[in-house]
Structure 1
């Protein structure tokens, strides 16, 4: 009886807090930034630091096309961007925007040889540099590997974070769903894209939730009852929910190419990816690489990321791991104490 009364009191207090919170904006992406380049839906941002830049070479963050990149700047105290700035780095980020039906035919070639290359050139021109540093996250890390293979003269150091490399690690449910073992029999991506055009962000959200249906679809809302009367914790929950469900549609042709060539055919490690009539050869990457993975990642299994060492040509190759899941890499308070210094110290040694 007492527990029931206590639960009702929590819910009443939580409803009161929620009613007040929904009247205000749930702030996400708190670090001041300036737009320095725009092309189509893509925007290049330069973050404004309150400390002196201690590094000669700026770093460009390349995030995945799925979800929004402000997860790396979620809130004060849990912002990879802010923590890197505080350590003296000069930070840029590509925001891919929200593709619509006009963008259905955008290809991976356009994203890599077009948008990423143009953003890199803008930064090089702004700083009068031949090379910059890249930090590629998840799918953005895969794109950064392709870019570094095609443009090794423009990248000084490469950091990959929770980045898929070997897409045929069949223990991963995302890999299996995408067709790593059965190909078109698992997912007929041609039929999907030809029918829908762009792939709805809500469809992909459903897929990700179904990889862990209880934990991601039920348990987190049960656990919400434990924090619902605490405004700070409820705010943290709402920020994450806002990010999770802020899912852009995927340009149809890019989605088709990524699923077929990377997931189903595993062409990246086979050296068979062609972008803009040029072959992506991971062995052509001879620059220093820092490869960071999450030990409990269910989206990008550690083995998928760790495979990178076998295929790149770099002799300066470093691996670091953190005992969190895929999302924990961005928002875990403990990780945010250790990850930014790991990146900064590694880069400082290679200035």
Structure 2
């Protein structure tokens, strides 16, 4: 016997799709006209130190129960609010809820005044000054350091170059080490025409950096827009989409001095070949001797596993761990993987190296 389709079920599906199309049209108009905006970076914070474009943020909390303080070092290539994207989807929020006293260095938007900056400016000046300020404000004698992406590079370089820094532990995420294994990013960073890329202000323009990241996932924007149309009826999805795409296109210029220096590091594969020099000093990762954690994503197309994996072997610490999670570069810090895997594992690592405050 042939079963006939339920006409009421078909009518319900048609009505639902009509309703969703109306919502798609409404949300599309709001996005196109700028009426619908998504606020980001909402966790309350105070600027407690600054120098040039660099600021040290202290996140407000009335539930600090663990010490020492945690200082986050962000990347130079884009904006730090990815770590505090939206309420309920915020690494900062999770760390505060766990009882940590959280600080973060935000590098701001550099301009021609920063064009000559080199890695030493960040590793040997900004970071030590910020660490001193954290210790001064908190009364702590040491801190936990946490670096994300290129912020991990800065954190590793600082820790190796400054063994006198009072650090309890070092955590880095998606941090490149074998610079010849970054896929298309290796080609981008080792371009022989770097000087032609620099703008008249001596900076690598934000548009060039954005285009470089887009070449790593050329279909990402297309598939993202297709997904948006399919789910544009959902206010929650549209809000999340706006927050993520807003951040993904919110690049900042890179100082030409840093770009030249990092190009040399890529050409020499400086970490793997032990050829890092800062301020005339040879810097060796083997000199890092404190508890160390590296979290990397198995689906990371910006810092592939082949680039990130050698780091833990080069660090000299006896107490060191590597965690490989099934996520991409940003997925480690945003969304379900971050909430269920990345952040809980980081919190577990840090709690073992912290003490309860009385």
Structure 2 length-normalised TM: 0.89
Are positions 1:152 and 2:163 aligned together? yes
> Greater Rg, structure 1 or structure 2?
2
Are positions 1:161 and 2:173 aligned together? yes
Report the counterpart of residue 78 of structure 1 in structure 2: 89
CA distance in 2, matches of 1:118, 1:273: 22
Tell me how far 1:8 sits from its aligned partner: 8.0
Report the counterpart of residue 5 of structure 2 in structure 1: none
Report the counterpart of residue 321 of structure 1 in structure 2: 324
Question: Contact 1:135 / 1:159 at 8 angstroms: preserved in 2?
Answer: yes
Question: Contact 2:50 / 2:56 at 8 angstroms: preserved in 1?
Answer: yes
Are positions 1:218 and 2:222 aligned together? yes
Report the counterpart of residue 214 of structure 2 in structure 1: 209
Report the counterpart of residue 173 of structure 1 in structure 2: 184
Q: Deviations over 1:295-333 (max 9, x none)?
A: 100100112221012211100011112211001111122
- Equivalent runs, 1:107-118 vs 2, <5 Å: 107-118=118-129
Tell me how far 1:242 sits from its aligned partner: 1.2
Higher helix share: 1
- Equivalent runs, 1:92-107 vs 2, <5 Å: 92-107=103-118
Report the counterpart of residue 182 of structure 1 in structure 2: none
Q: Deviations over 1:87-113 (max 9, x none)?
A: 111111111011111211111111111
CA distance in 2, matches of 1:67, 1:194: 18
Are positions 1:227 and 2:199 aligned together? no
- Equivalent runs, 1:53-72 vs 2, <5 Å: 53-72=64-83
- Equivalent runs, 1:117-132 vs 2, <5 Å: 117-132=128-143
Tell me how far 1:196 sits from its aligned partner: 6.4
Residue ranges of structure 2 left out of the alignment (5+ in a row): 1-10
Question: Contact 1:87 / 1:341 at 8 angstroms: preserved in 2?
Answer: no
- Equivalent runs, 1:339-350 vs 2, <5 Å: 339-350=342-353
Report the counterpart of residue 38 of structure 1 in structure 2: 50
CA distance in 2, matches of 1:218, 1:341: 33
Q: How many residues align?
A: 340
Structure 1 length-normalised TM: 0.91
Residue ranges of structure 1 left out of the alignment (5+ in a row): 180-185
Q: Deviations over 1:262-284 (max 9, x none)?
A: x2221123222222222211010
Structure 1: 4+ residue segments shifted above 4 A: 2-12
Are positions 1:143 and 2:154 aligned together? yes
Report the counterpart of residue 6 of structure 2 in structure 1: none
Question: Contact 1:138 / 1:161 at 8 angstroms: preserved in 2?
Answer: yes
Report the counterpart of residue 236 of structure 1 in structure 2: 240
CA distance in 1, matches of 2:258, 2:148: 17
Report the counterpart of residue 204 of structure 2 in structure 1: 199
- 1:28 aligns with one of 40, 50, 61: 40
CA distance in 2, matches of 1:65, 1:4: 49
